[in-house]
Structure 1
Amino acid sequence: MATRKRKVRKLRGSRTMGWGQVGQHRKSGGHGGTGNAGLHKHKWSWVLVHDPEHFGKDGFHNPTGKKIKKWINIEEINYLLEKYQPKTTRDGLPVIDLRELKIQKVLGKGNLEKPVYVIAESWTKKAEEAIVKAGGKISVN
């Protein structure tokens, strides 16, 4: 049975193997760059047909891990007492509401000089011990 020659056999000895002028099929010149070069430029029509979702954001990035709490140390509460001189009292103690100052957490570094009633979203055990030791109280509201 007679069969046609494959292109590769037919073009043997033809110097350029069907690629036109010598050099047109060499290296990366004349192809619009290597790899993904030009996808936003001269290969844009290719992107539209073959890979339309190549560009742009995709998916959901959970922001909960990026939440940064603002915090304050016990020693800085002494400074707040002097600076703001709170007029409101609760249980006979001056009240410092850290929620108003956009501070979420109280840390336990330092000592408290005066008893104070602290309102905060969260605090450490060491901070609570320091406040109670000074004769103060801490609560969420």
Structure 2
Amino acid sequence: MIRKTRKINKMRGSRTIGGGCSKKRRGAGHRGGRGKAGGHKHMWSWVVKFDPDRFGKSGFKRPLKTINKPTTVNLDYLDDNAEKLVEKELAEKKGKKIIIDVTQLGYDKVLGNGKITKALSIKAKEFSKSAIRKIEDNGGEAVTL
């Protein structure tokens, strides 16, 4: 049934408008807090009845795949530090060629960044195409392990 007049019109002049004592309907304490407050405490029975999936985890998260990227080193670094590596006995010198085993230094792949001035014989698991070209153009060799 549709009301002809709103209920508030009947309440006009009643001071508390159906709220009991005038002190009782003041703040959010009258409704037990604002928003979702008290969901784990005084509103727990409401949560159990009307929104049982509100708390707790649900579903499954797929574990992220980790990609093992090879550790890389550039040709210019090897060229600059070739003499130092020979002094530290991490590389050996045979004639004019310097033989460097990159896996002993903790690298997997040689990249072709920079210029080479020395004849280097480099041993590694992988080489980029530009690295192989630069090494061979300079009189060295790229040995794949």
Q: TM-score, normalised by structure 1?
A: 0.58
Residues 73 and 110 in structure 1, CA contact (< 8 A), matched pair in contact too = yes
Partner of residue 5, structure 2: none
Q: How far apart are residue 128 of structure 1 and its match? A: 0.7
Q: How far apart are residue 24 of structure 1 and its match? A: 6.1
1:30 counterpart letter in structure 2 = G
State the alpha-carbon separation in 2 of the partners of residues 52 and 95 from structure 1: 61
2:76 counterpart letter in structure 1 = E
Q: How far apart are residue 129 of structure 1 and its match? A: 0.5
1:9-63, Cα deviation, whole Å (9 max, x unpaired): xxx967249xxx3146689x733x545x788x869x779x743326xx9431111
Alignment of 1:1-141 (within 5 A): 15-16=18-19, 21-23=24-26, 30-31=32-33, 34-35=35-36, 50=53, 51-53=55-57, 58-64=61-67, 67-85=68-86, 86-87=91-92, 93-141=97-145
Residues 32 and 38 in structure 2, CA contact (< 8 A), matched pair in contact too = no
Q: How far apart are residue 104 of structure 1 and its match? A: 2.4
Identity within the alignment, %:
19
Ranges in structure 2 where 5+ consecutive residues have no aligned partner: 1-9, 12-16
Ranges in structure 1 where 5+ consecutive residues have no aligned partner: 1-11
SS of the aligned residue for 1:87 comes to strand
Q: How far apart are residue 132 of structure 1 and its match? A: 0.4
SS of the aligned residue for 2:104 comes to coil
SS of the aligned residue for 1:75 comes to helix
Residues 24 and 30 in structure 1, CA contact (< 8 A), matched pair in contact too = no
1:56-92, Cα deviation, whole Å (9 max, x unpaired): x94311112xx45432221111123111112376xx9
1:75 counterpart letter in structure 2 = D
Q: How far apart are residue 96 of structure 1 and its match? A: 0.9
State the alpha-carbon separation in 1 of the partners of residues 38 and 143 from structure 2: 60
Q: TM-score, normalised by structure 2?
A: 0.57
